Amino acid sequence: MFPKDILGLRLLNASQITTVLDTAEHFRSINQRRIKKVPTLRGRTVMIAFFENSTRTKTSFELAAKRLSADVLSFSACSSATKKGETLMDTARNLDAMQPDAIIMRHPQSGAPHMLAQAFPWSMINAGDGINEHPSQGLLDLLTMRDHLGDLKGKKVAIVGDVYHTRVARSNIYGLRALGAHVIVAGPGTMCPQQLSLMGVELRHHIDEVLVDADVVMMLRIQRERLGRAMMSTSQEYSQFYGLDGKRLQKARSDVLVMHPGPINRGVELMPEVADGANSLILEQVSNGIAVRMALLYLTLGSQGGESGVAI
Amino acid sequence: MEWLFDDVHLLCPADGIDKKGAVWIREGKIYAILSKQESSELQASWGKESVQRQVLSFEGHILTPMFSDILAYVGLPSALHREDLDTLSAAARAGGFGHIAIGPHDGQAYDSLNSVGYMISKLVDYPNIRLIASLTRDGSILCELGRFIESGVCGFFQGPIRDTTVFRRALQYARPYGMPVIVRPVDADLEDVGTMHEGLVSNRIGLRGISTASEEVGLSRLIALVRDSGCPVHCSQISSAQGVRQLARAKEEGLPITGGVAARSLLLDEHYIEENSYNSFGHLRPPLRTKEDREALVEGVLDGTIDSVFADHQSCSSVEKECEFALSVPGALGLETAVSATFTAIKDPTRWVQSLQYTSSIVGGEQRLRKGETASFVLFNPKITWRPKPPYQSRGRNEPLESQILQGRVVGSFQDGNWTYTLSNDSVII
């Protein structure tokens, strides 16, 4: 039985992650058909509740649900309902009264989806919570890596930049570790604090050290909206020491895979010649997003029983 | 009316009493402490029980003077939905606390003559509740300590404070008054960046952390200022192993500094938040720290480095807790569980009583098991195991110790010669 909720890769084991990736591979073919729709989730209601801005994740989830024929209701809230006098729990109680089958939620506070998931019967899919996790992005990154590298066991993946504030980084660390990859993180001391090494990753502070024998280099955006005081000096210094340009890329293996969860700050962490270059998998990541999210909806709603077992 | 509390374990470290026996209560006072033999003889002389004479056998129960507590929260004047004096008082009695002191919290500063006078007027009907006022207003102005004392406060409290000069002068100013000064030692800037302990778990679950350095820096500054000012200070709450070491060194140096710990910190650590799906009941200031810190706190209570255990009682409304972890109001209930939590954690009856009665020197009501003393004591059954569960006497329900099975429970509070609380039969005993 697959879990009811997808809250983070921290809570999934290797077998469950592999199931998602395998299922996503099946769904990928649907996205290449002329009629991109199957009746798998017909009659099921999926709510997309985003309490934070998003373009690609929200669109991707919406497309995924629609391609599975679910009834989709999407809404955004500019901030937590607490500020309007309603607790998040009360907001959820109201949504619950409309009998959804799944809620896909993005929220600026870490743990918000976890709190609701243990209180309600519907499936909760975390589309990003605070600085904690972004499991669907982590899974699509794993799928993209697996497409190119096969088994990820023993592969070296370098994650560079603002690891502490980046939820995708946390999901990737859990997923990659579960699948046996070796994860190296590199970034300024404030964005890669000592405690990260307790998570079973190798901690470095110089990008050149991690580029040399990496199979994958994942570059991260500076999460300006989440930074506290005095987390970095200037963008120019950051770019000089942690940015990836064509010259620096030459220090890596010629077949190194360059990834970025987007949106990219071109000219800061990633130079255009690398973002658009031959090693870049950035648009492939986006394409894989829909298939992974279809898989998540299929597997979580399937765990509830009912009709979601309809053939793909 | 006379009572004979028979077959109890009498425990009063202050009087050197730790033995089986009985307590004879007459006209609201302790008339005699009796041995088993003396108790049997008395019962034989009484003959048949009457309405005026009752023999109550509490075999295996501990009978000890009531406990005391400081810095409890009450929602006067504007947050009565969180806690009022009746519910606070009931929670204290149910927890075995005879005397407690309300303390300043966010929104209830007690830093002006008006606010202090208002609270003192409200406490007239609650003789067992005292008031601890603020030492400074907003950490920038010295409060009218002398006039507060005249109004009836029992001590002063200083929470996080940024301006070290004001802090130093506040301690210099307070010293001659000779009243208890209680401080929560913390560096406010380091604390304000996070919502839980910074370490493995905060990194793992993506919550911003509060480094142990926040306490270490705050305590270092406090120790320097105590040395400088000579003002005796009680640290309300130590949360880390490093804090225990600093406190021990300051005491070795002979500085007039003592320390306390919240009872829940002896049982819970940072894992609570991960294991309970970011439950905001675990959002506390200072935060729950590591297992090693928790063990050091227990050791600190046992060896006397930490002088007192307190409930750190702060009732919150559902609106303040049924929300995202980082947006929730820090604080938890404590009065109804602190005695059991401490007993569960330290397992040493003598230190258990001493640490929970330590603050009686601040709030008053220091009681003894002696002939002629007012009969105020707690009956505690050490064999009961139970898991806290609402409803509580307190108005809130933010009790993180619901995750724990506690050993021992207060089954009755007998205060000023009368029963003020008895555990009902439908209580949640497992």
Residue B428 has pLDDT above 50, yes or no: no
- pLDDT confidence of residue A253: 95
3-state helix, strand, coil in chain A (%, to 5): 45, 15, 40
- Chain A residues with CB under 8 Å of B207 CB are 110-111, 130-132
* Calpha distance A128→A168 (Å, rounded): 8
Test B326 with A107 for CB contact under 8 angstroms: no
* Calpha distance A143→A176 (Å, rounded): 11
The residue of A5, A109, A227 whose CB has the most chain B CBs within 10 angstroms, and thus the best one to mutate to test that interface, is A109
Model confidence at B245, pLDDT cuts 50, 70, 90, reads: very high
Phi, psi of A7 (to 5 degrees): -100, -30
Residue B171 has pLDDT above 60, yes or no: yes
| CA end-to-end distance (rounded Å), chain A | 18
Determine contact: A111 vs chain B, CB below 8 A.
yes
Determine contact: B206 vs chain A, CB below 8 A.
yes
On whether the CB atoms of residues B345 and B298 are closer than 8 A, the answer is yes
Q: What is the pTM of this model?
A: 0.91
Give the β-pairing of B181-183 and B155-158.
parallel
Test B203 with A118 for CB contact under 8 angstroms: no
Residue A87 has pLDDT above 50, yes or no: yes
Amino acid at site A144: T
- pLDDT confidence of residue B156: 98
How would you class B121 by CB atoms within 10 Å of its CB: exposed for 0-12, middle for 13-18, buried for 19 or more? exposed
Model confidence at A83, pLDDT cuts 50, 70, 90, reads: low
* Calpha distance B267→B260 (Å, rounded): 15
- Chain B residues with CB under 8 Å of A132 CB are 205-207
Average pLDDT, chain B: 95
Q: How far is B289 from chain A (nearest CA, A)?
A: 14
Q: Is B413 helix (H, G, I), strand (E, B) or coil?
A: strand
Residue B425 has pLDDT above 80, yes or no: no
- pLDDT confidence of residue B382: 97
Test B278 with A110 for CB contact under 8 angstroms: yes
Determine contact: B1 vs chain A, CB below 8 A.
no
Test B205 with A110 for CB contact under 8 angstroms: yes
Percentage of chain B surpassing pLDDT 90? 91
Residue B429 has pLDDT above 60, yes or no: no
Span A189-230, pLDDT tens digits: 989 988 888 899 999 988 999 999 999 999 999 877 777 777
- ipTM for the complex shown: 0.84
What is the rounded average pLDDT of the residues B40-64? 89
Determine contact: B278 vs chain A, CB below 8 A.
yes
Test B324 with A111 for CB contact under 8 angstroms: yes
Span A35-62, pLDDT tens digits: 999 999 999 999 999 998 888 899 999 9
Residue A304 has pLDDT above 60, yes or no: yes
Search chain A and give the residue with CA nearest B207: A110
Test B208 with A196 for CB contact under 8 angstroms: no
Search chain A and give the residue with CA nearest B276: A115
Search chain A and give the residue with CA nearest B190: A229
- Catalytic status, residue A106: yes
Phi, psi of A48 (to 5 degrees): -115, 110
Omega of the bond leading into B77 within 30 degrees of 0 (cis)? yes
Model confidence at A249, pLDDT cuts 50, 70, 90, reads: very high
| CA end-to-end distance (rounded Å), chain B | 35
Determine contact: A190 vs chain B, CB below 8 A.
no
The residue of A9, A191, A195 whose CB has the most chain B CBs within 10 angstroms, and thus the best one to mutate to test that interface, is A195
Test B322 with A88 for CB contact under 8 angstroms: yes
Give the β-pairing of B97-102 and B129-134.
parallel
Span B208-235, pLDDT tens digits: 999 999 999 999 999 999 999 999 999 9
Q: Which of A33, A84, A153, A251 is catalytic?
A: A84
CB-closest option in A88, A118, A133 to B206:
A133
Determine contact: A103 vs chain B, CB below 8 A.
no
- Catalytic status, residue A84: yes
Test B200 with A112 for CB contact under 8 angstroms: no
CB-closest option in B198, B323, B325 to A110:
B325
- Alpha-carbon separation of residue B240 from A59, B185, B285, B290 (angstroms): 46, 12, 12, 8
